[in-house]
C-alpha cells in the first residue's frame, strides 16, 4: 500500500516551507495557504477543510520532509490508515 498525505488546510499559516522543500507536491494558493498539487479536497460550507493525496513509496521522504518543516503540524502522512506523522 502506498502512503497518503493529509493537509489540515484551515490551520495552515501559509509559511511556504512545504512548497519550498517539495515543490512537485506543494504550492502556495493566492489566498496565502498551501495546497497539495492534484489533491482531493473536502469542503464544508464553501471552505476547504481537508486535502489528501495518495503518494507512492518513493515520494514518502520528500513529503516527510515537507511535513517536518511545517511549524504548525498540519501535514500528516498515513500508511494503511495509521498516522505516521
pLDDT of residue 81: 86
Find the CATH number of the domain harbouring 64: 3.30.70.20
Q: How many domains does the chain have?
A: 1
Domain containing 73: what range?
3-83
How much of the chain exceeds pLDDT 90, in percent? 91
Give the tens place of pLDDT for each residue, 34-69: 999 999 999 999 999 999 999 999 999 999 999 999
Three state DSSP letters for the chain: CCEEEEECHHHCCCCCHHHHHCCCCEEECCCCCEEECCCEEEEECCEEEEEEEEECHHHHHHHHHHHHHCCCCCEEEEECCEECC
Q: What is the pTM of this model?
A: 0.93
Amino acid at each position: 500500500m502506498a502512503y497518503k498525505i493529509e493537509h489540515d488546510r484551515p490551520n495552515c499559516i501559509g509559511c511556504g516551507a512545504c512548497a519550498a522543500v517539495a515543490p512537485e507536491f506543494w504550492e502556495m494558493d493566492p489566498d496565502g495557504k498551501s495546497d497539495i498539487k492534484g489533491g482531493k479536497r473536502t469542503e464544508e460550507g464553501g471552505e476547504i477543510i481537508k486535502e489528501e493525496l495518495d503518494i507512492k513509496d518513493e515520494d514518502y521522504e520528500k513529503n516527510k520532509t515537507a511535513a517536518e518543516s511545517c511549524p504548525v503540524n498540519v501535514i500528516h502522512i498515513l500508511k494503511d490508515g495509521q498516522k505516521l506523522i
